[in-house]
Amino acid sequence: MARRQPHHTDRRPHRLVPGDRVALVGPSSPVDLDRLAAGTEILRSWGLEVISSEHLHDTHPTLSHLAGSDAARAADFQRAWLDPTIAAVICARGGYGVQRMVDLLDWDALRAAPPKVMAGFSDVTVLHEAVAQHLDIPTLYGPMASGATFVDDGPTAEHLRRTLFHPADTQILTSPTAEPLVPGQARGITAGGCASALATDRGTPTARPSFAGTILLLEDVNEHPYQLDRILTQLLRSGALDGVAGIALGSWAGCGTLDRVRRVMLDRLAPLGVPVLWELGFGHGPSTLTVPLGVPARLDADAGTLTLEEPALREDTR
């Protein structure tokens, strides 16, 4: 069903309703077909019509770490975004590959189309940043259709469902592990994602000058503490963190002992003099929240909460 063009002052996509068509795309690494089938069934159980993009099952002809050619992955994303019958574009998997396809997108054409929901995380961080810079619309940093966490963890899938269908019910984000690393409160626009992807994005056409005025989300997977130190130092030296309002940290699966990770975060981030919230519960963990990006929010490190000042998606669906 076609979506109504939103008012020019509100670039938020519409929330989903049963019967909406959603497109699955693979902008990064090849998908696990069994998990993709299981994830597709979950989406269908929500009343959605799920459309697989043309090259979703592809593998690059010579580079097995990529899901099809760069041109094919870009074309799938662009085709889904420009299709007026598609309400949401959901990434099937991260891994690596967005950086190779993102500059092949026609951003003028994408901006001319009505905003729609985009969901994904990890390597999709680079695509979130590109959409933020070129289209200026909120996106969802959350689980992907063939992700093990989405398929295996009920609370992960349920939080994504509520965010998609009932966004006003998911404006307060917290987790049992959330606590202040640096105390305080701050307000800003949510941004960020996978720390290593943000660091490697610096100096590219899709990288913003800095995260000034944002509540910056940071998480990662399988990076040793010294590598996290290097990643954060790159962000600091490049000026990316100049003027950041506050920081919310997510999961650090496979990054070594949490005590060592905490020490790196404290050493690198505390000198910024802004509130830092430890382990909000998003990212690569065994259970994960969906966190909207590009939305005004209040960070309360002392209370362990990130509160969106408005729903990420518009409530008027037609």
Which positions are annotated as active-site residues? 122, 219, 284
C-alpha–C-alpha distance, residues 308 and 186, integer Å:
12
> Strands (DSSP E) along 125-274, which ranges?
139-141, 172-173, 179-182, 185-194, 214-219, 246-249
Q: Return the CA Rg of the chain.
A: 18
Residues 62-100 as b or e (16 or more Cβ within 10 Å = b)? eeeebbbbbebbbbbbbbbbebeebbbbbbbbbbbbbbb
Cα–Cα separations (whole angstroms), residue 318 to 14, 29, 154, 176: 8, 35, 29, 37
DSSP 94: -
Decide: helix, strand or coil at residue 175: coil
Report the SS3 class of residue 270: helix
